Structure 1
Amino acid sequence: MRVESARLVPVEASVAYAWVADPRTHPRWIPLTRFDGGMRSGPEVGDEFTMVSGPRVRRGARGLADRMVVEELTRPSTAAGRVGRTRLRKLGPVLLGDAGFDVVPVDAGRCRVVWWEEAYLAGPVPRAVTDPAVGLFLRALMGVSLARLNRRLARGAR
């Protein structure tokens, strides 16, 4: 099941792409999330990293680990009309599947950020049972997160 959310943001596509392609920036706009390492620079195709989500994870509390590997990085180009894309493969232990961001240039000062996930719970419960709940959670998280990203970019955050 694919879940996606999109937002028109008031910056050039390369700026938005820098924010969504680099998981080290994600805790600045995705709530209840921390970057738990795995890359020192980059990102580069092949990099593995872990994000941890849950209440108080930013204060060191335990949370849900989401291990991922970068499988695709394509920089956007407003001049060429090229969509930027980052695609990740989820490695578990809780979530499996694919996720990513598409950054669609609109003009010199705007682009559309699309966050998509084809993720599912690993484990003994069938996907037919868990997919509806996972979808609801992801849609809510994506909507809140993209609104936060939009506010941050609109203020000129780099």
Structure 2
Amino acid sequence: MSPRPPHRVEVSRLVPLDAETAFARVTDPRLHPRWIPLTRFEGDPTVAPAPGVAFTMVSGPGARRGRDGFVDRMTTLEHLAPSTEDAVVGRNVVRKDGPALLGTAGLDVVPVDEHRSRVVWWEEAYLAGPWPRRLNAAAVGVFLRGMLALALWRFGREVSRGGRR
């Protein structure tokens, strides 16, 4: 009997950016606090995403002011840029290293045409600890779906308005 596949939460959004530009922006964790509420990036601000690069996101009411919060440590496993010309989907995958969340997450950027791409943000994450993984992944998924939808909506709004780079 093969193991059950992990519980996946996925949201997507069509954005008015070519795939290469969308990928460079949406996969950069240093920019994620612009789209994820109450969250700060911790890591080397001079290092771009690449396999082996570790970083931490801290979320909570005082996180942006340097207070403690929910710690989500990650390591980039895969970072492959898309190509609109060659119809290659870009993929960024991170491993969730705890202490609270384990699993994987990723961003896929699908070229649509020279001016648009579809961003797909997915998570296969669950709480560390003694709880049954499948059950807790489904419960965590409810929260993650809302957070991912809000983050992609904010990203889409920013790029539609010609927002920050």
Q: What range describes the TM-score normalised by the shorter chain of this pair?
A: over 0.9
Please say if 1:63 is aligned against 2:69: yes
Structure 2 stretches lacking a partner, 5+ long = 1-6
Please say if 1:131 is aligned against 2:130: no
Instruction: Please tell me whether the aligned partners of residues 110 and 117 of structure 2 are also in contact (alpha carbons under 8 angstroms).
Output: yes
Measure, in 1, the Cα distance between the counterparts of 2:117 and 2:48. 22
Name the SS of the counterpart of 1:76 in structure 2.
coil
What is the match of residue 14 of structure 1? 20
- Report the AA paired with residue 120 of structure 2: V
Instruction: Please tell me whether the aligned partners of residues 124 and 137 of structure 2 are also in contact (alpha carbons under 8 angstroms).
Output: no
Q: Percent identity?
A: 58
What is the match of residue 24 of structure 1? 30
Q: State TM-score, norm by structure 1.
A: 0.95
Name the SS of the counterpart of 1:79 in structure 2.
coil
What is the match of residue 76 of structure 1? 82
Instruction: Please tell me whether the aligned partners of residues 49 and 68 of structure 1 are also in contact (alpha carbons under 8 angstroms).
Output: yes
RMSD: 1.1
Please say if 1:98 is aligned against 2:104: yes
Measure, in 1, the Cα distance between the counterparts of 2:86 and 2:120. 19
Q: State TM-score, norm by structure 2.
A: 0.91
Q: Deviations over 1:73-131 (max 9, x none)?
A: 11011010000010001110000011010000000111000000111100122224322
What is the match of residue 93 of structure 2? 87
- Count residues in correspondence: 158
Structure 1 stretches lacking a partner, 5+ long = none
Name the SS of the counterpart of 2:14 in structure 1.
strand
Name the SS of the counterpart of 2:124 in structure 1.
strand
Measure, in 2, the Cα distance between the counterparts of 1:65 and 1:88. 15
Measure, in 2, the Cα distance between the counterparts of 1:8 and 1:147. 10
